């Protein structure tokens, strides 16, 4: 059960606004389920409508334990006055409705500036996401990403073993918004944009798989997944760009791709964030358990 005493900020506001802003475990769908079940009390009276509340009203919300456990599992790798680094689980978007950003905004509801993500990960790619806690930090970090002064490293379990230990590959990518899919070409084509992907083999396995450290110099939608597949090394578990037969063989339902390291490598002044220069943050991943 969660208890809320309505503050002046929420005087004469709808019940859903008051609850959703202050209890990060609850999304809109869950709120209406709780209403239908009469699991919300206002001033000790059960309600089943999205009523208006007033300052000093007492709200009691009975939240199922499975919802609490699921939504509170937000793993912070690092936090200071300017940034947060979150270990994003699979099966959640970074932005949009009921996203990681939504949860973070609820957790930091009292802040004048709600933390904002500085980059993206696909829904089913897990790993490190960098949030800025103020507008000055956000502007600096967005510029640093644009100038390639922040490194993002990924671990990818792929089918096949590249001939070269490490390589920097250039290609061209076309995004089909209607199909939510991208296509790769080795030569320039109309509507295609240049992409650059770097990989380094970390481990070769006897089952014709390998674990790669991957970096992208151009952060385009699905770039790593599509480009590696185009090279002939599809990520195991990738239902869109991988090979279904291989995914079934390895019993993987989601792409084995993890954002595991962020390194700050500032070449120019970073203002209030200069203290981050040369620092790196790593998600603890047992490389032998990826496969």
Q: Model confidence over 167-206: pLDDT tens digits?
A: 999 999 999 999 999 999 999 999 999 999 999 999 999 9
For residues 104-117, average pLDDT: 90
For residue 72, the model assigns a pLDDT of 46
- Residue 73: its pLDDT value, please? 57
Give the closest residue to 199 by CA, choosing from 272, 257, 138. 257
* Angle (CA) 290 131 235, round 5°: 25
With vertex at residue 166, the alpha carbon angle to CA 154 and CA 161, rounded to the nearest 5 degrees, is: 85
Which domains are seen in the chain, by residue range?
2-69 (3.10.290.10), 152-259 (3.30.2350.10)
Percent of residues, the chain, with pLDDT higher than 90? 78
Task: Of 99-113, 129-143, 203-217, 269-283, give the lowest mean pLDDT range.
Answer: 99-113
pLDDT at position 287 over 90: no
pLDDT in tens, 219-266: 899 999 999 999 999 999 999 999 999 999 999 989 999 999 999 999
Confirm whether 122 is a catalytic residue.
Answer: yes
pLDDT per position as a tens digit, 44-69? 999 999 999 999 999 999 987 555 54
Q: Could you read off the pLDDT of 124-175 as tens digits, one per residue?
A: 999 999 999 999 999 999 999 999 999 999 999 999 999 999 999 999 999 9
Percent of the chain with pLDDT over 70: 95
Query: From the candidates 39, 87, 122, 238, which is the catalytic residue?
Result: 122
130 versus 70: the higher-pLDDT residue is: 130
Q: Determine if residue 167 is left, alpha or beta; phi over 0 gives left, psi from -120 to 50 gives alpha, anything else beta.
A: beta
């Amino acid at each position: 059960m969660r208890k809320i005493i309505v503050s002046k900020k929420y005087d004469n506001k709808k019940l859903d606004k008051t609850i959703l802003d202050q209890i990060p475990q609850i999304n809109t769908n869950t709120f209406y389920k709780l209403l239908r079940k009469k699991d919300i009390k206002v001033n000790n009276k059960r309600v089943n409508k999205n009523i208006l509340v007033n300052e000093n009203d007492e709200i009691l919300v009975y939240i199922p334990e499975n919802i609490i456990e699921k939504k509170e599992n937000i793993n912070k790798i690092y936090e200071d006055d300017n940034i947060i680094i979150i270990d994003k689980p699979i099966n959640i978007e970074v932005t949009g409705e009921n996203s990681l950003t939504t949860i973070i905004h609820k957790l930091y509801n009292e802040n004048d500036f709600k933390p904002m993500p500085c980059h993206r990960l696909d829904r089913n790619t897990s790993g490190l996401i960098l949030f800025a806690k103020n507008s000055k930090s956000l502007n600096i970090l967005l510029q640093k990403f644009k100038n390639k002064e922040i490194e993002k490293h990924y671990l990818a379990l792929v089918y096949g073993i590249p001939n070269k230990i490490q390589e920097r590959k250039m290609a061209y990518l076309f995004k089909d918004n209607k199909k939510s899919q991208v296509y790769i070409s080795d030569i320039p084509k109309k509507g295609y944009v240049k992409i650059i992907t770097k990989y380094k083999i970390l481990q070769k396995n006897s089952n014709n798989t390998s674990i790669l450290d991957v970096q992208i110099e151009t952060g385009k939608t699905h770039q790593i997944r599509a480009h590696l597949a185009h090279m002939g090394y599809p990520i195991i578990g990738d239902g869109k760009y991988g090979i279904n037969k291989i995914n079934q063989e390895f019993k993987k339902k989601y792409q084995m791709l993890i954002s595991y390291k962020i390194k700050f490598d500032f070449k120019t002044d970073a203002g209030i964030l200069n203290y981050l220069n040369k620092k790196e943050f790593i998600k603890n991943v047992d490389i032998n358990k990826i496969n």
